[in-house]
Amino acid sequence: MRNNNINIAFAALLVLGLAGCGGHSVVKQEPLTATIVPDSMAIKRARLASGIDSLLADSSLWQAQCGLYLIELNGSHPLYARNQDQLFIPASVNKIFTTAAALYDLGPSRQFMTAVYGDSLWIGGKLKGDIYLKGFGDPLLSYSDLEALAFRLKSRGITQISGDLLADASYLDTVKYGAGWMWDEGPHAYNAPISALSCNQNIFETSLRPSSKVGRQASVNVSPDLPYLNIQNRVVTSRSGVKRKIKAERTHYNGKDIFTLTGHLPQDDSVQYNSFSVSEPALYCGALFVQALQKQGIKFNGRVKKGETPEALTCLAWHNSPPLYAMIQKMNKESDNFIAEMLFRQVSKDSSAFGSPDSDTLNGVEENLHRMGFVPGSFRVADGSGLSRYNLCYPRQVAEVLTTLYNDPLLQTELLEALPVAGVDGTLYRRMQNGGAPIKVRAKTGTMTGVSCLAGFAFSPGRKVYCFAMMFNNYPGKATEVRRIQDAILGRLLEIAP
């Protein structure tokens, strides 16, 4: 009963208090409002997009095809994207696909052998019958490696070979050039033919020196100097100040390469060094091996010809290549086309396609991309180096392959160590040196007429990692201007990025 009285009294006081408030002004309270703080990342993203848009409006890109895809590795949305799903010619950025396929299918430690086969018995140092030099696709085989093979034969007591030397390149496909390579490129070093048995990347060097008198023939030296190489020198000396012009034409006749050099060198010119490719890699390698044998004092009077190694023969000596990760470093740092094509054939060894645009069969690199989730038909890989204009891909694909490799703890180191470092080495040695992004960018370049691409990683001061792919096709201006824009885009990213 006491509690009820208290409740009634309290209610009465409350009513009187409310009634008393009616005679006084009521203090009006302002409604609460939320202060909206702009998202700092959104602001930075907007600033970045505005800056990139401004750079892409440069007159040097007038009517050019531009594709960009930029993403933070731990982010779910791209920081910038333009034509990211449109097809472009990648040029040497195509080597990123070759890198991925080689690392996944062959492994970073894979090595490739070159071996000498022959009869298991020899009497008094004389090996009867033919010997076979078989290549298993070593892209780095050098003359010094052939010398080492010859030394091993000598160390086994072999002092004379009575038969011929047969060069065996049957391990890989015999197609020497990539699908879609230009027919009028000439015998240059960058498009040397591909063979399972190759030495010195199937190239040789010449040095031309002008005469002291105008009109006279320039002197030429060849390295290596082999009977396989027949050099017809028709280069003459012109007066000082005239623009230099040298042209090489190659024909193959009776087991030899005939090179005809024409043109002129100005009298005041320095010695000109040029590298040219041979037409028959296996025969060239065989000729080099004969030279190595003779240097070791092993007598050989036979012929060099092509042939396949019989299974019954004994392996007399062998050489193993450096591991694959070393090849991938050289391939990407220097944009080495020869290594890329050899690895392309290694991963495509069991495929019949080899980049043919008319084939329904995927080559080894395409099969690897398919396993990574790319739909066949959304890209085309015609070769390993990117020399072919049949190659097609889009920026987002390139970035996704790079991201996949980076996120693989077993392959991340191999990938990063293979990519050129801006301002430090490789094809990026002279780029981004002045305030651009030195040591903060690792990327693969891709360049051919009308094509300039760059794809890789940028590392911010805040230790964030950004993956990017920039692809420019069909620009009318100079490649130097396009590269300047690419560098400026990365500089803007690292300037704004946390």
Residues 423-470 pLDDT 10s: 999 999 999 876 555 558 999 999 999 999 999 999 988 889 999 999
% the chain with pLDDT above 90: 76
Q: What is the pLDDT of residue 77?
A: 85
What integer pLDDT is reported at residue 324 of this predicted model? 98
Statement: residue 93 has pLDDT above 60: yes
Angstrom distances, CA of residue 496 to CA of 8, 55, 72: 69, 15, 13
- The number of beta carbons lying within 10 Å of the beta carbon of residue 451 is 24
The 10s digit of each residue's pLDDT in 125-166 is 999 999 999 999 999 999 999 999 999 999 999 999 999 999
Match 């004379």 to its residue by tokens: 160
Supply the mean pLDDT for the chain: 89
Examine the pLDDT at 69 and tell me if it is beyond 50: yes
Of 186 and 171, the structure prediction assigns the larger pLDDT to: 171
Q: Is pLDDT at 92 greater than 50 in this prediction?
A: yes
Q: What is the CATH number of domain 113-174+282-320?
A: 3.50.80.20
Written as one letter, the residue type at 209 is R
pLDDT of residue 91: 98
Residue 183 confidence (pLDDT): 67
What pLDDT does residue 34 have?
47
What is the mean predicted confidence (pLDDT) over 204-210?
96
Q: What is the pLDDT of residue 39?
A: 60
H helix and E strand count, the chain: 11, 20
Cα 482 from Cα 174, distance rounded (Å): 38
Helix (H) or strand (E) holding 442: strand 441-448
Residue type present at position 475: Y
Q: Does domain 41-109+324-496 have CATH number 3.40.710.10?
A: yes
Using the CB atoms, write b or e for 171-187: b if 16+ within 10 Å. bbbeebbbbbbeeeeeb
| pTM: predicted TM-score of the whole model, two decimal places | 0.88
Q: Are 454 and 91 in contact (CB under 8 A)?
A: no
Q: How far apart are CA 386 and CA 398, in angstroms?
A: 13
Whether 113-174+282-320 and 41-109+324-496 are alike in CATH topology: the answer is: no
CA angle 471, 476, 482 (to 5 degrees): 45
Q: Determine the pLDDT at residue 357.
A: 46
pLDDT value of residue 302: 95
Q: What is the pLDDT of residue 75?
A: 78
Binned at pLDDT 50, 70 and 90, residue 1 comes out as very low
| Range in 34-38, 161-165, 202-206 the model is least confident about | 34-38
Confidence of residue 497 (pLDDT cuts 50, 70, 90): confident
Confidence of residue 498 (pLDDT cuts 50, 70, 90): low
Whether the predicted pLDDT of 373 surpasses 80 = yes
Q: Are 359 and 390 in contact (CB under 8 A)?
A: no
Q: In the predicted model, is pLDDT for residue 76 greater than 90? A: no
Residue spans per domain, the chain? 41-109+324-496, 113-174+282-320, 189-280
d(CA 136, CA 261): 33
* Cβ contact 357:179 at 8 Å: yes
Q: Which residues pair with 166 in a beta bridge?
A: 132, 305
Q: Is the peptide bond before 224 cis (omega within 30 degrees of 0)?
A: yes
Nearest-angstrom CA–CA distance, 400 and 411: 15
List the beta bridge partners of residue 168.
134
Percent of the chain at pLDDT > 70 equals: 88
Query: Tens digit of pLDDT for each residue in 297-340?
Result: 999 999 999 999 999 999 999 999 999 999 999 999 999 999 99
For the chain, state the CA radius of gyration.
Answer: 33
Express each pLDDT in 245-288 by its tens digit: 999 999 999 999 999 999 999 999 999 999 999 999 999 999 99
- DSSP letters spanning 317-376: EEEEPPPHHHHHHHHHHTT-HHHHHHHHHHHTTT-S-TT-TT-SS--HHHHHHHHTTPPT
- Compute the distance between CA of residue 186 and CA of residue 460 in angstroms, rounded to an integer: 44
